[in-house]
Amino acid sequence: MNIASLTDGLFSSDPMQPVFSDRNTIQRMLDVEAALARALAVEEVIPHSAVAAIVNACKADLIDTDALAKAVRSAGNLAIPLVRQLTAVVAITDEDAARYVHWGATSQDVIDSGRVLQLRDAIDLITIDLAELADTLASLAHHHRATILMGRTWMQHAQPITLGLKIAGWLDAIMRHQDRLQAMRTRVCVLQFGGATGTLASLGHSGLAVATTLAKDLSLTLPALPWHTHRDRMGEVATTFGLLTGTLGKIARDIALHAQTEIAELAEPLAHGRGGSSTMPHKRNPVACSAVLACATRVPGLVSTMLTAMVQEQERALGGWQAEWDTLPEIASLTSAALNHLREVMSGLSVDAARMRSNMDITRGLAMAEAVSLALAQDMGRAAAHEFVEEACHQSVESGRSLFEVLKSDPRIPEGFSASRLEALFDPAHYLGEASAFVDRVLAHHRQRKA
């Protein structure tokens, strides 16, 4: 059984928690058992008279969860004691029908197919949340298309960009994850049904027909063959969620850096009791970003577990498959948590455009050195202009004067290079390159996806 956690509110989301709850794990396996009974009857492998009793018994509320949890240790998996209990429940109303419970299936068929049903629900939840985040980012990118922001490389001032460009970069990555999620869902939502060694020998010549009917009943795709020890599908879920969580962490890291007291350009939404300190009344900590980053820190190790677990033995794994059982739900829960925290941040992101503009000036124009150098290169040559402006930058730092003042007073400035022309080069709005065009391209892509 899952161990209740006081931090579930941080590391899962309200919609995701029921998906991988103990009760739903049991119910999804029972859904497979009920569908199997129906499929077997349709293909005339078992009597139609047995179906109702089996299907009616496939309710998680009829299962003794505590007894199931105790039996797992000796059984080695959840399906064996579950089938035992299910058979006993069916026998209460129809002893003859009880003979046909789990007919032709193996434990892994029920566990894997039940897990696929859970993953389908999880993917759908994340898909919805991701679309909402994309819409919010698109709105922010449009609104801040021309909001000037200092671009930073190696954590240092570099050149001006726009906040819209930064957000468009976030959005562009999110849209790629939407594509990955959609493609992954198609490959993952497939039936697992192969019997003991993947041949369905226990069903004779009816095996493929039963599998086809079973897949249709569960609204899953029928794969070319059972995949008991071929775990690339589960690995793809893990890595896709891992990539997404990595991007969510990158965005959270950016926001947290911009929220530092000395920068104060962005901030999480302000709410009573949010981001406070137990000792410092003034604090406004980026708590949601912290939660996203915690999720992004935990997920890669779990993804590694899933990839390591892919190396499985022959027709049934010894440890690798079992390692997936708790790992994959945890990845999904952490991904959902990170996504929900970030959606909350973005829906009320506080933007201080004035602070962004004032932060541009703290290096006294040094961030515009390249723009000046390129303009002077037309008269001085590229190498000479670069060396000249680099020297002026050193003088600016040493003297505390702005780069404009240093250059304006330098007699080596070419004739005809007026002070007004030089001053114009220090306007960051004149050195944004294709920032607006890039934002527009991303927003156009977003609109096309929604059309």
Kind and range of the H or E run holding 48: none
Residue 338 has pLDDT above 70, yes or no: yes
Kindly list the catalytic residues. 277, 316
Residue 207 banded pLDDT, cuts 50, 70, 90: very high
Q: What pLDDT was estimated at residue 279?
A: 54
The set of residues, in sequence order, having a beta carbon less than 8 Å from that of 393 and lying 6+ positions away, is: 366, 369, 403
Structural domains of the chain sorted by starting position, each given as residue range(s) with its CATH number in brackets:
8-357 (1.20.200.10), 366-425 (1.10.40.30)
Q: What distance in Å separates the CA atoms of residue 235 and residue 108, rounded to the nearest whole number?
A: 17
- Beta-strand relationship, 266-267 and 156-162: unpaired
pLDDT at 42 over 90: yes
pLDDT tens-digit map of 172-194: 999 999 999 999 999 999 999 99
Q: Which of 318, 340, 319, 246 is nearest to 9 (CA)?
A: 340
Mean pLDDT for the chain overall: 94
72: pLDDT confidence band, cut at 50, 70 and 90? very high
pLDDT at position 268, please? Answer: 94
Is 103:210 a contact under the CB 8 Å cutoff?
no
Name the residue with tokens 């002070």: 419
Quick one: pLDDT at residue 278?
47
Q: Is the pLDDT of residue 276 over 60?
A: no
C-beta separation of 68 from 79 below 8 A: no
Q: What is the pLDDT of residues 231-249, one digit of tens each?
A: 999 999 999 999 999 999 9
Q: How confident is the model at residue 277 (pLDDT cuts 50, 70, 90)?
A: very low
Dihedral sign, Cα of residue 43, residue 45, residue 51, residue 57:
negative
Please report, rounded to a whole number, the percentage of residues in the chain having pLDDT higher than 90. 89
Grade residue 112 by pLDDT with cuts at 50, 70 and 90: very high
Specify the residue for token string 């919609």.
15
pLDDT at 1: 41
Contact by Cβ (8 Å): 32, 114: yes
Tell me the β-bridge partners of 156: 153
Check residue 418 and give its pLDDT: 85
Q: What is the pLDDT of residue 417?
A: 83
pTM here is: 0.93
* Average pLDDT for 26-32: 98
- DSSP code string of 263-316: T-SEEPPP-TTTT--SS-TT----HHHHHHHHHHHHHHHHHHHHHHTT---TTS
